[in-house]
Structure 1
């Protein structure tokens, strides 16, 4: 239908110019409209009438027989293309996943052998296969969405639904893309900060690696400080980078982001009291030089060798070959006896106490105890062992033998040998040990008389 068959009429009315078509009023152009558009009211009314005629013609043209045939052909073409793509998708999605899995397995086969199967190539291949399938399904769903949109756009009656689909999905995607473009300067800044941070961390690693290798030394800087100091320096560099990066993070100025930050801070502050206390205690343990890796220490009733000093805990291997984890806060707040650390040149003073009856001469008892210490391997002859009289008990005199040793790590074995030698010396001299106590003198002294050395040799052989 041509424009000549649609003749709009423009008439003067009370409020302006009335536009009618076929005797039906369409709209009224007012003086306010003309003033707003800054144009003569008659010219504006003529333009509006022409636009109305064009809209009517376009509406009728889209619903004509030729237009419907063209729309059907277009929809058929989109449908054929979608069917072909669907067939290819369902036939190749499993093959594509297997192909990627095979490539990953081949790629990590050498790494798996080099690491002793620590890195599982099969597991990584399965993850890659799953990821490929997810990406293919996402691609297929996107294609399905746009296929439905284009088919609905082909027909005038369903075009509003297609426009709604585009509004609900494409508009947010375009908003995200526009937001990405707007945030591009901030992203560039974050990239620069990340690159500088990476090079700073590499420089720190190079510095501490050379320090550990002995390329250069720092005065009064002990070797076991290298690892913890490197860790702390890395943490400080990362924290500084986060502080500089925070203002440039997209959405950091939004109320939601700030609320999440406050919530995370509250959760960390409420749940990290013990963690922070252990970390601070770990720093004191590491840098106060009282305990080093390899030292034999006693914490409470636990005795063992220090295996590792971490930021949160200290690991010791007990004399029974048990691995014990002690929180650093406990280690800091407890009395720690170090049997390895040398205070002077004398060595560690080992001692034990026995109770001997009042009838035995003290010079004889002291001589026997010193003889027992001299027989004990691991106890030093100089400085000389000495005996202290530590108490006059109800039933016996308590004598304490003291002897120096430079083998603090072997303290349990040395004390065991010392006790055995004390028993041997006292038995050889017919002196009864009264520890812990007794109620009356026995008729015969409680001294072993049988010789089991031969029987013991027979059992061992």
Structure 2
């Protein structure tokens, strides 16, 4: 290196001298290299030929080093660097001038496409949101492209000068080489990528075929013995999950880095996190399967779970939605539904229907046959209570001050149970008032001078006054 940096006015004189190691190459009295007999034997050439080859290579390297740092070379390098600079500034000007126009064009094009699809407000709002996201993504891509242009501009300028060429080579090594490695990696991954694409296509069309089959089962085109219609959707979801799981098993080994310890450790960590955080989720999902397939509850049934009474609206994997008698939407976790007693008012057992009952307390002094007849009459007056089988009365309890009579009657309108009970209570009060019998429920302390019953029937005068 010292010899190459000497001024060109100093002429270099090269000699080949014999020494104890072999033929040494010397320039202006400085030792540069030596060709040994072992080197000649390895290269399978004569020792003199090998020494001459070394001398030619050294002369060429020094000449190239000096020519790259000559005045003419510096002028040419400056011209090349100036050309790259002009091109960079032109690209910078175009980037700053056209960036917003390109983003605006993409946003307008997106909104126009959404407007053509559907001319409604919701679609327009959605189109604007998608256009903003697309514009944001385009802005990022353009800035990344500009940074790449800036990076390679600096690299090419440094490559133009022999003095700064090593720094340019370092920059190319840090960025270009990883990009090349990624490109070759993608090219090597293409066979696995094609295999993954085939697996995904098979999975997609398998799910489509399964969906078509299930839709035909739901429509009644295909008959499936003992298969409930409300099982179609959960069965499809379960089968789809199984198909996707099988596809993941086949695809997993094809993923780049799947066999590395880091990837395996990340997979184990994700599995532990899911297992620790999903006990309740898995419990509700398993309970949902039992609720769906055990046929104890169907959509539309009037059920009672704990204190909640309502109609089943939807049975999901995690929860069951019921609409209460007060028109409230109640969400019940399937685990609770599985572990609780469920009363189904809509399910037919023996064909007679649901047995509606209520209890009243009547004093011991009243004739029992008369009381039973009045209760049966009240049941017969109640709409939606069946006349056959006939209503009947049971003696529920001999209390301290009254006999508790329980009137029972069948109905097939389990969904109307609150209204039926209300009508039955009203009719009981009316019948007992008509016959001058006092109902002693819920509390009784002493006999009043006269029975606490209305003396005159209401003629509706208050309603007429308010009207």
Q: Which moved more, 1:29-38 or 1:166-175?
A: 29-38
Q: Which residue of 2 aligns with 1:64?
A: 70
Q: Which residue of 1 aligns with 2:169?
A: 163
Deviation at 1:436, TM superposition (A): 1.9
Q: 2 CA distance for matches of 1:23 and 1:180?
A: 55
How many aligned positions are there? Answer: 460
Deviation at 1:202, TM superposition (A): 1.3
Q: 1 CA distance for matches of 2:334 and 2:393?
A: 38
- Trace 1:30-429 onto structure 2 (pairs within 5 A): 30-113=36-119, 116-117=122-123, 120-429=126-435
Q: 2 CA distance for matches of 1:429 and 1:200?
A: 73
Q: 2 CA distance for matches of 1:398 and 1:150?
A: 104
Residue 120 of structure 1 aligns to a residue whose secondary structure is: helix
Residue 183 of structure 1 aligns to a residue whose secondary structure is: helix
Deviation at 1:459, TM superposition (A): 5.8
Deviation at 1:353, TM superposition (A): 0.8
Note closer, same or farther for the CA distance 1:38–1:444 as it changes in structure 2 (3 Å cut): farther
Residue 352 of structure 1 aligns to a residue whose secondary structure is: strand
RMSD over aligned Cα atoms = 1.9
Deviation at 1:157, TM superposition (A): 1.2
Question: Normalised by the size of structure 1, how large is the TM-score?
Answer: 0.95
1:174-213 superposed Cα distances (whole Å, 9 cap, x missing partner)? 1111111222211111111111111111111211122222
Q: 1 CA distance for matches of 2:28 and 2:90?
A: 50
CA contact (8 A) 1:112 1:121 kept: no
Note closer, same or farther for the CA distance 1:439–1:49 as it changes in structure 2 (3 Å cut): same
Q: Which residue of 1 aligns with 2:443?
A: 437
Deviation at 1:117, TM superposition (A): 3.8
Residue 169 of structure 1 aligns to a residue whose secondary structure is: helix
Unpaired runs of at least 5, structure 2: 1-6
Deviation at 1:56, TM superposition (A): 0.6
1:254-292 superposed Cα distances (whole Å, 9 cap, x missing partner)? 111101100011011111111111111101111111111
1:101-147 superposed Cα distances (whole Å, 9 cap, x missing partner)? 11100111144436954971111111111111111111111111111
Deviation at 1:54, TM superposition (A): 0.9
Question: Normalised by the size of structure 2, how large is the TM-score?
Answer: 0.94
Q: 2 CA distance for matches of 1:153 and 1:269?
A: 56
